[in-house]
Amino acid sequence: MFPKVCLAPIGSLRIFTQIRVMYTPVLPRKQVEKELSKLQKLNYNRFRWWRLYQPRNTPLHPKQPLRDRILNGDFDYSCYKMQVYWCEHELNDILHECNGDYQMYLEKSAVLLARKKRLNEDFEKDESERLKDLITGMTRHFKCSKEQVEEEMIECIGSLLDLYYIIEEKYNINHIPQSLKKRGRPKKNI
């Protein structure tokens, strides 16, 4: 990862200037901070020290109705990506602070680089689990195949709730929640 170099015209001469930005986050800092303010800040945990925030609402149990889980935000975009963007902004700040001294930059940014790496791993793992849970939830709820759900996901342009209603209309299913099976010994018939 080398700094970007651009040509800046000055009169008839052009000089090389270095833009000291190691990472280019997708979102600006203000928007990242706004999104992070919606999350719950975590206390320090020595086993998961790289995580700083978590969603405010707890996920519902998988046996809850799919629509309720969607409205609760169980399948929303993972919060770890915003934390990765925050790390990238902080790494850029450290680069500006070090003023081109890359040895000092590596010393100061070692913890942030490790945090960014682990947050990316958590993000990929969390997103794949959420997608898998959504697909299995839709196949169980609407009694359709995995391929049909994936095809509808690719074609859908709207939100997740829009996808839910599209599949519900397409397969003409008015889902009636089934009572949960009781465990243990059956009641006596008198």
Distance CA 51, CA 116 (A): 10
* Structural element, H or E, at residue 114: helix 102-142
Reduced 3-state DSSP string for 116-136: HHHHHHHHHHHHHHHHHHHHH
Q: For 42-85, how does the pLDDT look when each residue is reduced to its tens digit (9 = 90+)?
A: 888 788 888 888 888 888 998 899 999 999 989 988 889 999 99
pLDDT tens digits, one per residue of 10-30 = 443 343 345 456 788 888 889
Contact (Cβ atoms closer than 8 angstroms) between residue 82 and residue 22: no
Residue 38 CB burial class (10 angstroms; 0-12, 13-18, ≥19): exposed
pTM of the model: 0.72
pLDDT surpasses 90 at 143:
no
Q: What does the alpha-carbon distance between residue 129 and residue 53 come to, in Å, rounded to a whole number?
A: 19
Q: Which residues are registered as beta bridge partners of 14?
A: 9
Q: For 152, left (φ over 0), alpha (ψ -120 to 50), or beta?
A: alpha
Locate the DSSP E strands across the chain.
Answer: 4-10, 13-19, 40-41, 53-54
Residue 36 contacts residue 82 (beta carbons within 8 Å):
yes
Q: What is the pLDDT of residue 126?
A: 93
How is residue 48 annotated by DSSP? S
pLDDT tens per residue, range 149-164: 999 999 988 899 999 9
Which DSSP helix (H) or strand (E) runs through 137? Answer: helix 102-142
Among the listed residues 48, 51, 56, 46, the one whose alpha carbon sits nearest the alpha carbon of residue 82: 51
